[in-house]
Structure 1
Amino acid sequence: MTRLQQNGHRIVVGVDFGTTYTGVSWVTTVSQQTIQEIDIINEWGGSGATGSYNWKVPTVIAYQNENSPWSPRGDKWGFQVKPEMVSWAWMKLLLDQDQAKRHYDDTLPEVKQHPHKSPEQIVTDFLSHVYKFLIGTLERRMTPSVVQQLPIEFWFTTPAIWSDQANHATRRAARAAGFGSRPGDRIFMIQEPEAAAVAVLKDLTVHGTNVIVKPGDGILICDCGGGTVDLITYKVTQTYPTLQFEELVVGSGGKCGSTYVDRRFLAWMSETFGPAFDGLRDRLKCPGSKMMQEFESHKRAFSSDNCEHFELGLSMHDVPDSPSYDASENTVKIEW
């Protein structure tokens, strides 16, 4: 046993496996690091890694056998996936299919499934790339020898509204992907709102500072994600020496995250343009396609102060007469 192991040191990794994006952070117990010193992976690589969102990687995978000649060197994932590729996304939503629908759940048909792979298998395939990238990052930052000596705790966030079946499926997929596979490594699960509460409240309860949050205060967490929305209320019971809180009432929420807006947009396109849109190849309209990337940019910029229209480039044939499409410019026009 090495000195690091004798002292009980370890690496703690947080994995925010999201419907649309996935983030990974890590910290070691070798030094007394604060929450500001936690390392976040923000260089994921891939030709699509541009802009201000590189601290998370797109939760998407494209298989080589479905994309030749675009993917001649194996499967692509995250920022490696190009708009013209056949890809699979939003698979996280399919891990919780057996649970009864809630009042605010998306009422549209289920996300398209792979004809030969289960949602759990696709999640495993995606997470295996995340795991390999994470280990490579740790070895570059800490040397392979140190990483080999230290056990790793993996903390996966899951929606508060998820069923036990969905949590078990996430754990199985993570382990099959390599997480927790080394001797001494372990996998833990934490609810997304609880993780958010710890992250937000940590800076507000530092001993010796101008404390904003104190024992007895109530905190409402609204976690709006890509696939789900969670609402939970906590009561702060202690701020020093460690932050502690308890759930005041049972949380609520639904499968109505930002992908709900995307799916409504796709439904509107189908209703408006019919076969002209429905007949397009999947790679032209699937998550990660050029059209959906443009829509994502407009969605992020949307506010009540914005102009009342935007345009998307998309070539369609035999489009019925519609004020929402300019055939001469191959442009979809959306107004509100």
Structure 2
Amino acid sequence: MSLMCDARDIEVNVTWPGGPGTNQRLEKVPSRFAFAFENEDVKGMEEDCWGFGVPPGARSYGWFKLLLDKARKTEYDVEDVAGELTNGLLELPTDMTAKEVVTAYLTKIYNHCMEMLEQRYTANILITTPIDFWLTVPATWQAGAVDDTKAAAGSAGFGTRDGDTLNVITEPEASGIAILTEQAERNPELIKAGDNAMICDLGGGTQDMQILTIKAVKPQVQLEEAVPGQAGKCGSTFIDQQFYQWMEETFGEAFTNLPKTKIGHGSKFMKDWEGVKAAFTGAAPNKQYYVPLPALGQALGATGDHGVASTAYDFMDNAVVLSGEDVERFFEPVVEKAFDLVDQQVSSLRRRKQGSTKLQIICLCGGLGESIYVWKRFNDFCKDRFKGAVKLFTDKQAWSAVVRGAAIRGLNGNTVLSRKAKRAYGIGVHRPFREGIDQEEDSYHCPVGGKRAVGAVAWFIVV
């Protein structure tokens, strides 16, 4: 009997404290955290809040995990254009480190995870069952950031019980394992050994790209890293920034002076905008999108400013009015950065000296990978750039591909047979003196090791 895990056996948690409603399936929880000591005047903030439970208007933080890698800038980052909206993003509380904030957030995740497992399997079974925990990290993170992530998770409780383990896998690699394994099971004609597949993990804060070579399809998918991955801070949250900037430019202080409970993270206004963003399929003639914001109508009415607002705000429906062209413009910087990352990976593939230098597959995953508009743009891009030679597909659960892939990796073992070295560290060492090879001026006498030579370097390769 085979012990291999079928990809369809993976069950993703879809219930989170403070979620919008019992009928919604939420495959991920926002990386938001609010400390009670900074929000003493906020109702319901007697204790630290996280994820969906952060009240609108609370002083909160997001993207803090990126600060573990010092938020290094790359040419693929989208410029930060909206200071008000990003309040709390890539910021930390005074006198706290990124590692401490990540630990506080992961502690909440761990406690929720263990509570859910106890409800499902009972405390008696849980206490005697070892658990392998897998963390996912961006493909381009430095070794120090990965170590800090593991340390924060350990401090939060992950892998600390007897028998439990704590492991790490890169996000595009995990997503690739999930999507390619599932495609091999459902649509085996789509992939074959020897194909190069680019995994486009289009997340909220970052977009990670990585090309994997499919070495085998049966009895299980086996992969090989074709070229080192690349990433940029150009995720879907930057679409929100473009929208917010448009609101500032269009309505001025009538908008920016509104309280954060009305327009900040977690507000009904931003949740309604999320619905528009998720449902957007492309600009269409005379198509308009409405984002309710009654408080803005009251502010405009108080100032008597009905100029540009006569077309951008509907006073009958108390809603902001967007054209399809407006929404498309908000997407544009993020989509273009994604295409730049694809081009970079394809160029790296074409420069490789061994194996196929052609791309056969592009897989879209991550939250933005579920967008119909983004899929259409990628489809047009592939037809133009690759003349129909590249197959493009996504998954109906693209948002959770990364966690499903990490689970498959833990259950089925290592399916990525080899990886490209991303960096190397050299450490100066001394070694036994080699007569006729080493120079006498490099020699010295060691009381323990005898005659030695200095000036050697020991290399450590990081994959």
TM-score above 0.5 = yes
Structure 2 segments unaligned to the other structure (5+ residues): 326-463
Q: Distance in 1 between matches of 2:106 and 2:99?
A: 10
Q: Describe the shift of the 1:241–1:187 C-alpha distance in structure 2 as closer, same or farther (beyond 3 A).
A: same
**In the TM superposition, what are the counterparts of 1:68-83 in structure 2 within 5 Å?**
68=41, 70-71=43-44, 73-83=46-56
Q: CA deviation at 1:63?
A: 3.2
Aligned residues of 2:133 and 2:167 also touching (Cα < 8 A): yes
DSSP 3-state at the match of 2:291: strand
Query: Aligned letter for 1:297?
Result: G
Q: Which residue in the other structure is 2:124 paired with?
A: 145
1:223-245 CA deviation, whole Å, 9 max, x = no partner? 11111112211111123344221
Instruction: Choose from 90, 110, 115 the match for 2:63.
Output: 90
Tell me whether 1:322 sits opposite 2:302 in the alignment. Answer: no
Q: CA deviation at 1:48?
A: 2.1
Aligned residues of 1:204 and 1:212 also touching (Cα < 8 A): yes
Aligned residues of 1:88 and 1:287 also touching (Cα < 8 A): no
Instruction: Choose from 186, 208, 212 the match for 2:165.
Output: 186
Q: CA deviation at 1:159?
A: 1.7
Query: Aligned letter for 1:140?
Result: Q
DSSP 3-state at the match of 1:42: coil
Q: Which residue in the other structure is 2:332 paired with?
A: none
Which has the higher Rg, Structure 1 or Structure 2?
2
DSSP 3-state at the match of 2:295: coil
Aligned residues of 1:61 and 1:76 also touching (Cα < 8 A): yes
1:157-212 CA deviation, whole Å, 9 max, x = no partner? 112233334323322322222112223322211111111111112234459x9564
Q: Which residue in the other structure is 2:77 paired with?
A: 105
Tell me whether 1:174 sits opposite 2:147 in the alignment. Answer: no
Return the structure number with greater helix share: 2
Q: Which residue in the other structure is 2:288 paired with?
A: 308
Q: Describe the shift of the 1:120–1:332 C-alpha distance in structure 2 as closer, same or farther (beyond 3 A).
A: farther
Q: CA deviation at 1:301?
A: 0.9
Q: Distance in 2 between matches of 1:319 and 1:149?
A: 68
Aligned CA RMSD, in angstroms, stands at: 2.9
Q: CA deviation at 1:41?
A: 1.3
Q: Which residue in the other structure is 1:238 paired with?
A: 216
Aligned residues of 2:52 and 2:266 also touching (Cα < 8 A): no
Moved over 6 A (4+): none
DSSP 3-state at the match of 1:291: helix
Q: Distance in 2 between matches of 1:124 and 1:165?
A: 16
Tell me the matched-pair count: 304
Instruction: Choose from 257, 260, 264 the match for 1:286.
Output: 264
Q: Distance in 1 between matches of 2:244 and 2:151?
A: 32
Q: Which residue in the other structure is 2:319 paired with?
A: 331
Q: CA deviation at 1:313?
A: 0.8
Q: Describe the shift of the 1:179–1:203 C-alpha distance in structure 2 as closer, same or farther (beyond 3 A).
A: same
TM-score normalised per structure 2: 0.59
Q: Distance in 2 between matches of 1:175 and 1:61?
A: 19
Instruction: Choose from 104, 110, 134 the match for 1:125.
Output: 104
1:102-127 CA deviation, whole Å, 9 max, x = no partner? 22202116843244344433322222
Q: CA deviation at 1:138?
A: 1.4
DSSP 3-state at the match of 1:222: strand
Tell me whether 1:37 sits opposite 2:37 in the alignment. Answer: no
Aligned residues of 2:57 and 2:260 also touching (Cα < 8 A): no
Query: Aligned letter for 2:319?
Result: T
Q: Which residue in the other structure is 2:249 paired with?
A: 271
Q: Distance in 2 between matches of 1:150 and 1:71?
A: 36
Query: Aligned letter for 2:277?
Result: K
- Percent identity between matched residues is 35
Aligned residues of 2:36 and 2:47 also touching (Cα < 8 A): yes
1:50-70 CA deviation, whole Å, 9 max, x = no partner? 454423223323333415452
Q: Describe the shift of the 1:96–1:314 C-alpha distance in structure 2 as closer, same or farther (beyond 3 A).
A: farther
DSSP 3-state at the match of 2:139: coil
Q: CA deviation at 1:134?
A: 0.7
Q: Describe the shift of the 1:330–1:88 C-alpha distance in structure 2 as closer, same or farther (beyond 3 A).
A: farther
Instruction: Choose from 219, 225, 230 the match for 2:197.
Output: 219
Q: Distance in 1 between matches of 2:263 and 2:97?
A: 22
Q: Distance in 1 between matches of 2:245 and 2:304?
A: 16
Q: Distance in 2 between matches of 1:106 and 1:50?
A: 35
